[in-house]
Amino acid sequence: MKLMKKLLSIVILPCMLFSLLLSGCSTDELQSVKREKVSGIADLIFSDDGLVPNGELTWNMGTEEFLNRVYGAETMIPGDESFDEQRYFYSEEQNVSTYNPPVVYRVKGMEADAEVIYAFDESGLYMAGYSWTFDKEDQEKAEKCIELLADELNSDPHIVPTAVEQPDLSQLEGALQYSKWSVADAKEQSVELSVLSHLNTISVTLTIKA
C-alpha cells in the first residue's frame, strides 16, 4: 500500500488529473463548474489545525461525509442521473477511490485554474492533489506556476523550507517528482510538487499527504 500511495502521488494522481482535463467538457458542463478565487495555495491547504486536504475537509473522513460536504457530489456517485464517469475512479486491487469535484481554483498570480482530486483508502481521505495544466507553448506560464508555489511554500510558517531549482521543462517527457516539503509540526505529513509532460501539455501538480 505504501508503494501504491507513492505511485499515486508521483504518477497516477497527476496522470488522472491530466486525463480528466484532456477529456474536455461541453458548454453545459463548463457552466456547472464552480470557480473559486484564492489569494494563495495556503488558503486551501492550511487551517488553524495545520495541513488539510482543503479548508472544508479533514483527513481520514469517510466518503459519505465527504460527499455530503463537497459541491457537485451527485456527479461523483455511480448510478446518480448526474454521474460523470470522469469524476470517480475505484481500484479494486488497491482499494483506493478517487473523486474529482466540479470545482476549480484560481490562485492569485496563476494563469490557469487548478483542478483537484481526492484519494481515499481504508482509513479515509489521505491525499489530495491540485493540478494546473498548460499548453507546451506556454512553458513560461508553467514555470511561473512552479515558482509561485515554491516561493509561497518556502515562506509559509507551517512548512520546513526546501531548496528548489527550476526544472528544465523543455527537456522533460513523462513524470518528475520535483520537490518535497515536510510540515513543521507534523513531519509525517508532506506537500509534494510534481510535473508531468505529455504530448502537447505540461501539468504541474501539488500533492497534499496526511
Who has greater pLDDT, 66 or 166?
Answer: 66
Share of the chain above pLDDT 90, in %: 63
Confidence of residue 56 (pLDDT cuts 50, 70, 90): confident
Q: What is the tens place of the pLDDT at every residue in 158-187?
A: 999 998 887 778 777 766 677 889 998 888
In the chain, the number of structural domains is 1
Q: 142, 150, 144: which is closest to 191 by C-alpha?
A: 150
Q: What is the tens place of the pLDDT at every residue in 82-102?
A: 999 999 999 888 899 999 999
Q: 136, 137, 149, 139: which is closest to 110 by C-alpha?
A: 149
Share of the chain above pLDDT 70, in %: 83
Q: What is the mean pLDDT of residues 47-71?
A: 94
Check: CB of residue 165 under 8 Å from CB of residue 151: no
Residue 19 has pLDDT above 80, yes or no: no
pTM, full prediction: 0.85
The whole domain housing 62 covers 2-209
Residue 145 has pLDDT above 50, yes or no: yes
Who has greater pLDDT, 62 or 180?
Answer: 62
